Structure 1
């Protein structure tokens, strides 16, 4: 199998050398603790002496997830797809959901811009992310009906939804039609049947707008039924295309799926935006399950080369993420696909450039952010950002009482006057998404100690806060700087934090997964205490300003963060 892949591997070797590592950030620690280091070796060694090697079957899976309307680099993605496909005729191209919501391309074109490029690329199947329901099922129906590929989701029932019931077929389908929804489907490649079924996080009903006609069913039960239905049709190579998160704390995730459902060979995942540079293998049953996920925002094209024996068991695999934005000097390693580039520049980009000049509100005062202000102390912009984050989190989990934002994610200041969308993107250019953590008061104190560890010097992880105030003494010993913490438990009045009490705390998922050294948050994430509704920061900020009277703001410094050493 590996010799067969040399050509396109060589094509992307520059990418591998410069951009592909073996670290998986926060999920890596969890995976290494739960996956034997010898697993891949065992899969190899136990099957090296195969008497009928010619009966084995090689498959290449290209995969994307959580692209969220980021299509400025889509022409490079088309080039990468074409190259991989040209070298690997037994290939699939799959998307694990959340094409919708995240940039102005979605605000303007409601997914149809993304879809034109997905159709051009030749996707084989897609599952639904929670954000596919953000505009209700009428918008989603327009997207599905225009697709040149089918959709799969075994645990979402559309039979009572007026917009989707006519294109929903509640079964595993041997001959799927484009623009229709199935529990699962069979794709025949070079005479071999590949089964694909989908799963969508049940959190969707709480964090998006599916409407009363869409029902979310138990993902473990439905996965077992889908696997059984595929096996009844003679399929022994089964892919779960999921939007439930790698180790998400929302009640469903890929690690649990792999452990509890026998018969899944590959999980192509999404929702948690994990950058799995290497496939993760779970060996909990009779056969191993390989898990992949390709981060977010069209930054990568995931590739997985997988070898099955004649019984459909995974006996070999290799995978990596192709960095679509890597440069050598000023030139991109992957060139634009000419047709895709022409469509983007002609049909879509001019509208977006114009929209960026849209005024979304007005500030009567300078908004202070950037380095060092947002990284050394409370700022009025930090207060505004976290207030908006807290307001959004409360609509999802009304028990949320605190919001935290790393100062390094507030990149610049804004002069008094009109606020344009272009300026909002300068403030928060990373597209970080919302996460809601369950933390004890003691863990919150531990986090605040990390926040002020470098004080009074600048630190990108310095936390701006809402729903909370604290004092610290930068002259004190590391770990002993925080002197007091108060929380607005009722949303109005501050009371001292209770070290033993559990609080719902909003932040961005970069921080929630342990970014900027927040090991206390990474621990909570690994223990399944972080829910990821996924709303993007710039849109939360814009919507919050839109709720203010006259869309006019005058935030101030309120004494939320006080350095007693000053």
Structure 2
């Protein structure tokens, strides 16, 4: 029995993505006549297609796609970016009447503009670019479900998540399961699927009102009924390329799977059975493109007649329809030679200016260089001190790999402190209460799991004995006294660091859910100190 389709929020489900039909009418008519001729005469090229009666109607549709933007709208020192993608999209729309832009998630994350606006900066740029639909990635929840919901309120396109459910039951109201888009009369169903890794990657409190169901089971339930409503079905997936191929094998019915999450550059036309798998890498360094023709018979039944790259590249045909050369690969590189789209620039500039004002504010002075790197990075110790001061915890721990920048001696701005931290995921701070025995067990478990020390610490000192299995704690002090197993201590750190410590040391009482981040802690610590000395080292000492 086919599952009944959930009803998405009104106004999000159906959109007309056609271009100006008067301008294109004659050109598209000529194009379809040429396609019909090719279909009839070039059986070696179009071996899977037969031309039907004169009543058949052909429609050319172009899907363009991005994924894992991570807020890259106007990158200043690299290729790619949404604004360049929008310029290329504008050119494609000028040549073709039925163009739909889809994005496969991880949108509102990764830049100061999104950090300060809660994701509204990139959503506004996507509105200006003309994105028709997107799916929710795991990073959409980095600022919490409430912040994500506020960003969604600014979107002029549906952001989808069929397997993202409200904990009390039913679809999470902010994410419709699917959208049906119109492209020249062709009904294109787009089913959004989010990764189950979101649960592991996020602090539980950030997504406490949500559950993430198995995307494969969700697709199996929805595809049969959704197929009846559309002519073409697309999975807009934030599962990763390996899972996308599995989806194509295990859930029949998808014509195309446009993916994200794994940052995979799929530079060839990758078919799994009759399903085309696509992904552009990340950061809009390339724009994906899929061209296909839909044939509708006199009874109104529609089917895909040909896809560029399925049997051959359309660019290899002897006659180029309307003089247009279709792509000979699924990705269009976006390099610095492409100018940013003016509409996207206009929408994004207010957020860029606000970020520049924030980052340029003077906050203090470094009295010496504070570098990163080494067995005990001074910059990581500085961040650990900042976390302990902001939270008031007895002990603070920070992932040294997250502190990828250092500070040079001299005046410091908020931007200098901001750029100390290279990572964005789960940089929010959590404070818990643990016994001394738990702290010792937790740290020891982390050292053995990784085989080395990748934590900076504040408010405590460790003496470690190197062993083949990893460093072993010989002695630990907190607040200048030996750590007492039965005593209780407060411990603060990045959400994922605290998660790992609790996994190794056992459950702990959560005293403060994530709110401030390592970046805010570093900025406030430098502002408080004003004149910042290099932090002391020797907090973690290896015995000979």
Same fold (TM over 0.5): yes
Deviation (angstroms), 1:344: 3.6
Structure 2: how far apart are the matches of 1:294 and 1:200?
17
Alignment partner of 1:487 is 2:471: yes
The answer to whether the 8 Å contact 2:238/2:259 transfers is yes
2:281 aligns with 295
Deviation at 1:303, TM superposition (A): 2.1
Q: Tell me if structure 2 keeps the 8 A contact 1:383–1:465.
A: no
Counterparts in 2 of 1:204 and 1:227: CA distance versus 1, 3 Å: same
User: How do 1:4-23 residues align onto structure 2 when only pairs under 5 Å count?
Assistant: none
Check whether the contact 1:198–1:242 (CA below 8 A) recurs between aligned residues.
Answer: yes
Q: Counterparts of 1:292 and 1:491 in 2: how far apart (Å)?
A: 53
Determine the structure 2 residue equivalent to 1:174: none
Would the alpha carbon gap of residues 339 and 263 (structure 1) be closer, same or farther in structure 2, given more than 3 Å must change? closer
- Cα distance in 1 for partners of 2:412, 2:469 equals 33
Instruction: Sort the Cα spacing of 1:195 and 1:101 in 2 relative to 1 into closer, same or farther, 3 A.
Output: same
Of residues 356, 362, 374, the one that matches 1:353 is 356
**2:475, 2:87 → 1: CA distance?**
51
Aligned-residue offset at 1:93: 0.5
Q: Please give the alpha-carbon distance, in whole angstroms, between the structure 2 residues aligned to 1:121 and 1:243.
A: 21
The alpha carbon displacement at 1:290 in A equals 1.9
Give the counterpart of 2:221 among 225, 233, 240: 225
Q: Hey, what does 2:194 align to over in structure 1?
A: 200
- Aligned partner of 1:71 in structure 2 is 73
Distance 1:215 1:86, change over 3 A: same
| 1:231 CA displacement | 1.7
Distance in 2 (alpha carbons) for counterparts of 1:354 and 1:106: 14
Structure 1: stretches of 5+ with no match in the other structure = 1-43, 169-179, 248-252, 328-332, 392-400, 449-463, 472-481, 494-505, 509-538
Q: CA deviation at 1:336?
A: 3.0
Work out the CA distance in 1 between the residues paired with 2:305 and 2:448: 47
Deviations 1:343-381 (A, max 9, x none): 444x23221111112467876753224xxxx4xx54624
SS in 2 for 1:66: coil
Q: Identify the match of residue 335 of structure 1 among 335, 339, 343.
A: 339
What is the SS of the residue equivalent to 2:100?
Answer: strand
CA distance in 2, matches of 1:561, 1:262: 58
Q: For residue 64 of structure 2, what is the aligned residue in structure 1?
A: 62
Give the whole-Å Cα distance in 1 for the aligned partners of 2:288 and 2:426.
Answer: 24
Distance apart, 1:421 and its partner CA: 4.0
Equivalenced residue count is 396
Structure 1 segment 150-189 matched on structure 2, within 5 A: 150-158=158-166, 160=168, 168=173, 181-189=175-183
Give the equivalent residue in structure 2 for 1:322. Answer: 332
Aligned equivalents of 1:245, 1:424: Cα separation in 2: 33
- Shift in Å at residue 152 of structure 1? 2.1
CA spacing shift, 1:222–1:83, aligned 2, 3 Å: same
Corresponding residue for 1:118? 126
* CA-CA distance at 1:270 after TM superposition: 1.8
Question: 1:249-398 maps to which residues of 2 (within 5 A)?
Answer: 253-283=243-273, 288-306=274-292, 311-312=303-304, 315-317=307-309, 319-324=329-334, 326-327=335-336, 333-345=337-349, 347-358=350-361, 366-369=369-372, 374=373, 378=375, 380-381=377-378, 384=381
Contact 1:64 1:94 in 2 (8 A): yes
Which residue in the other structure is 1:542 paired with? 519
Cα contact 2:64–2:99 (8 A) shared by 1: yes
Deviations 1:250-293 (A, max 9, x none): xxx3233222211122111122333333343323xxxx322222
Please tell me whether the aligned partners of residues 302 and 319 of structure 1 are also in contact (alpha carbons under 8 angstroms): no
Instruction: Assess, with a 3 A threshold, how the Cα gap between structure 1 residues 349 and 316 changes in structure 2: closer, same or farther.
Output: closer
- In structure 2, relative to structure 1, the CA distance for the partners of 1:489 and 1:230 (3 Å cut) is farther
SS at match of 1:486: coil
Does residue 214 of the first structure (1) align with residue 210 of the second (2)? yes
- TM-score (normalizing by structure 2): 0.59
**Change over 3 Å in CA distance of 1:82–1:415 after alignment to 2:** same
Rounded to whole Å, the distance in 2 between the matches of 1:116 and 1:246 is 28
For residue 239 of structure 2, what is the aligned residue in structure 1? 244
RMSD of aligned C-alpha atoms? 4.8
1:121 Cα offset (Å): 1.9
Aligned to 2:413: 420
Contact 1:386/1:405 (8 A) holds in 2 = no
The residue aligned with 2:95 is 87
- Deviations 1:369-404 (Å, cap 9, x if unpaired)? 4xxxx4xx546247559989xx9xxxxxxxxx9968
Structure 1 pair 210/264, CA: closer, same or farther in 2 (3 Å)? farther
Mapped to 1, the partners of 2:275 and 2:110 lie a distance apart of: 31
Quick check: 1:149 aligned with 2:135? no
**TM-score, L = length of structure 1:** 0.57
**Deviation sequence 1:214-248 (CA, Å, 0-9, x none):** 22211111111221121232x3421111122224x
The change in CA–CA distance for 1:114 and 1:432 in structure 2 (over 3 A counts) is: closer
Distance 1:206 1:314, change over 3 A: farther
Which position in structure 2 is the counterpart of 1:48? 47
Name the CA distance, whole Å, in 2 between partners of 1:418 and 1:320: 48
* Change over 3 Å in CA distance of 1:492–1:92 after alignment to 2: farther
Whole-angstrom distance in 2 between the partners of 1:230 and 1:77: 30
